[in-house]
Chain A
Amino acid sequence: DTGVSQDPRHKITKRGQNVTFRCDPISEHNRLYWYRQTLGQGPEFLTYFQNEAQLEKSRLLSDRFSAERPKGSFSTLEIQRTEQGDSAMYLCASSLLRGGLFEQYFGPGTRLTVT
Chain B
Amino acid sequence: TQLLEQSPQFLSIQEGENLTVYCNSSSVFSSLQWYRQEPGEGPVLLVTVVTGGEVKKLKRLTFQFGDARKDSSLHITAAQPGDTGLYLCAGRNSGYSTLTFGKGTMLLVSP
Contacts from A to B (Cβ < 8 Å)? 4, 6, 31, 33, 40-45, 48, 55-56, 91, 93, 100-109, 111
Measured in the bound complex, the distance between the Cα atoms of B43 and A56 in whole Å is 22
CB-based contact A55/B45 at 8 Å:
no
* Candidates A6, A42, A93; contact of B104 at CB < 8 Å: A42
B24-43 vs A, CB cutoff 8 Å, 1 = contact: the mask equals 00000001010100001111
B44-65 vs A, CB cutoff 8 Å, 1 = contact: the mask equals 1100101000000000000000
Task: Collect the chain A residues with CB atoms within 8 Å of residue B45's CB.
Answer: 103-106
The residue on A at minimum CB distance from B104 is A42
* Candidates B35, B41, B98, B100; contact of A33 at CB < 8 Å: B98
> Does B102 sit at the interface, judged by CB under 8 A?
yes
* Candidates B50, B88, B101; contact of A101 at CB < 8 Å: B50
* Those 10 A-B pairs whose CB atoms lie nearest each other, nearest first: A42-B101, A106-B42, A45-B98, A109-B42, A106-B43, A108-B42, A43-B101, A42-B103, A107-B42, A42-B88
CB-based contact B48/A101 at 8 Å:
yes
> Does B79 sit at the interface, judged by CB under 8 A?
no
Task: Collect the chain A residues with CB atoms within 8 Å of residue B92's CB.
Answer: 102
